Amino acid sequence: MLVKDLRVRNWRNFEDENLRVGGEVTVLFGRNGQGKSNLLEAIYYAFAFRSFRTNSSRDIVRWGCSGAEIEVGFELGGFDRRLLACVENGRRSTTLDGKSVRRDTDSLAGAAAIVFAPEDLRLAKAPAAERRRALDRAVFAVHRPYLREVMAFERALKGRNTLLRRGEATRELLDSYDEILAVTGSRIVLRRRQVVSALAPQFAQAFAEIHGGAAASIRYRSDGRVGSVEGEAEIGEALRRGLAESRGLDQRRGFTGFGPHTDDLEILLGQRLAREHGSQGQIRSLALALKFAELLHVEERNREAPVLLLDDVASELDDVRRQRLFEVIASRTCQTMMTVTERRLLPDLPGRIDWQVREGRVEAAGQEA
């Protein structure tokens, strides 16, 4: 995939701006709080139909406005296409070449954006929920219907928890929620496991190249009752049984304590969990290695390069890791958009296009800092 241009209207702090996107590297630079990340968010929103920073459309629409629009021109599978994402009074709609499309439309298969932001650098030490979210994004990048599956699970979980909290959980209601959780949950577990095993070898290799020392590995951890079985039907059955077994406890404490929403992506150095034993530097290298693995995986699976969105990552890395990052970027076919405050941190990447972002305006800039 190749993004060619972006237009934003009433998106965050932008009134109406458009910019040409470089075939290889686009740099958005400017002081803090000017709108650089907002532009990466717009690209992500257009392709993923959601933000990576917020779940509320109130946040993304320019203050005082009723709606926002993002228009992206891009090439996919050799065809030029236009995606128009609108948010109006909290309702989102998207058209592709003028036709209304859903998030999981086949015509967007292979169109993926991968974000890498400073908080991702701490992923190995972050709460498990963030690692699950990172995994879910990696799955979504190669399988668009996945998000709908996750949302169905989350809706059921929320419903079940509300009943438990209010003490209104009848047996019939719990039975029906458990059934939805088992069916949708088994798909989630299966997809997450698949992506973890696809990422694992590349992750180990990337870490060895960036950092060396102890071997790094990843594995998906579920409750032992689920972790010990394979196949969608068997996982579903294990979830059904586990939910039934924990029902009494759930009713006493008022929430659902069993299921894929308590799973974790375990990141290990040697035999030890990086979350407990990793040094600062190791944690960052692990995060980079995971991102590199994800990039490779998505490109291989989609047979289309994703667009890589690097939000302020360069300034968070030391010289060695930053250089490694730029080497990987230069060696890949994937297009990169990055934000920085300090342009001097960036090397002269081939085909680089620079834009200065200032108070919600975007201006073309030469390469010299």
Ligand X SMILES: Nc1ncnc2c1ncn2[C@@H]1O[C@H](COP(=O)(O)OP(=O)(O)OP(=O)(O)O)[C@@H](O)[C@H]1O
- Token pair of 55, please? 């779940």
The torsion angle over the Cα atoms of residues 16, 19, 21 and 27, rounded to 10 degrees, is: -100
CB of 85 to ligand X, least distance (A): 15
Report the residue number, 28 or 353, with the smaller CB distance to ligand X.
Answer: 28
Report the residue number, 81 or 122, with the smaller CB distance to ligand X.
Answer: 122
Decide: is 299 part of the binding site for ligand X (CB under 6 A).
no
Q: Which stretch binds ligand X (CB under 6 A): 55-63, 171-179, 194-202, 237-245?
A: 55-63
Q: Evaluate whether 315 touches 345 at the Cβ level (below 8 Å).
A: yes
- Eight-state DSSP code of residue 339: E
Q: Evaluate whether 21 touches 4 at the Cβ level (below 8 Å).
A: yes
* Total residues at interface with Mg ion (CB under 5 A): 1
Q: Which stretch binds ligand X (CB under 6 A): 57-65, 74-82, 190-198, 330-338?
A: 57-65
| Residue 180 burial by Cβ neighbours in a 10 Å radius (0-12, 13-18, 19+) | middle
Binding mask 314-353 for ligand X (x = CB under 6 A): -------------------------x-x------------
Work out which of 6, 7, 12, 182 binds ligand X, going by CB under 6 A: 12
Specify the DSSP element, H or E, that contains 60.
Answer: helix 57-60
| Residue 22 burial by Cβ neighbours in a 10 Å radius (0-12, 13-18, 19+) | buried
The two beta strands, 307-311 and 335-340, are: parallel
Residues ≥6 apart with Cβ < 8 Å to 350: 24, 25, 330
- 35 binds, options Mg ion, ligand X, none, Cβ within 5 to 8 A by partner type: ligand X
Amino acid in position 70? I
Q: Which stretch binds ligand X (CB under 6 A): 61-69, 105-113, 185-193, 253-261?
A: 61-69
What's the distance, CA 132 to chain centroid? 10
What's the distance, CA 135 to chain centroid? 8
In the block, tokens 């944690």 appear at 283
Q: Which stretch binds ligand X (CB under 6 A): 30-38, 166-174, 199-207, 316-324?
A: 30-38
Interacting positions 27-46 with Mg ion (CB under 5 A): 37
Helix, strand, coil percentages (3-state) for the chain, rounded to 5, are 50, 25, 25
CB of 204 to ligand X, least distance (A): 32
Decide: is 34 part of the binding site for ligand X (CB under 6 A).
yes
Work out which of 8, 21, 29, 36 binds ligand X, going by CB under 6 A: 36
Decide: is 118 part of the binding site for ligand X (CB under 6 A).
no
Taking the C-alpha atoms of residue 134 and residue 115, their distance in angstroms, rounded to an integer, is: 10
Work out which of 63, 252, 303, 331 binds ligand X, going by CB under 6 A: 63
Decide: is 35 part of the binding site for ligand X (CB under 6 A).
yes
Q: Which stretch binds ligand X (CB under 6 A): 32-40, 159-167, 170-178, 207-215?
A: 32-40
Q: Which stretch binds ligand X (CB under 6 A): 58-66, 229-237, 250-258, 283-291?
A: 58-66
- Cβ atoms within 10 Å, residue 6: 24
Which residues are paired to 79 by β-bridges? Answer: 76
Decide: is 13 part of the binding site for ligand X (CB under 6 A).
yes
Q: Evaluate whether 194 touches 138 at the Cβ level (below 8 Å).
A: no
Report the residue number, 13 or 251, with the smaller CB distance to ligand X.
Answer: 13
Report the residue number, 15 or 154, with the smaller CB distance to ligand X.
Answer: 15
- Token pair of 64, please? 């005082």
- 34 binds, options Mg ion, ligand X, none, Cβ within 5 to 8 A by partner type: ligand X
Decide: is 62 part of the binding site for ligand X (CB under 6 A).
yes
List residues binding Mg ion (CB under 5 A): 37
List residues binding ligand X (CB under 6 A): 12-13, 30, 32-38, 59, 61-63, 312, 339, 341, 357
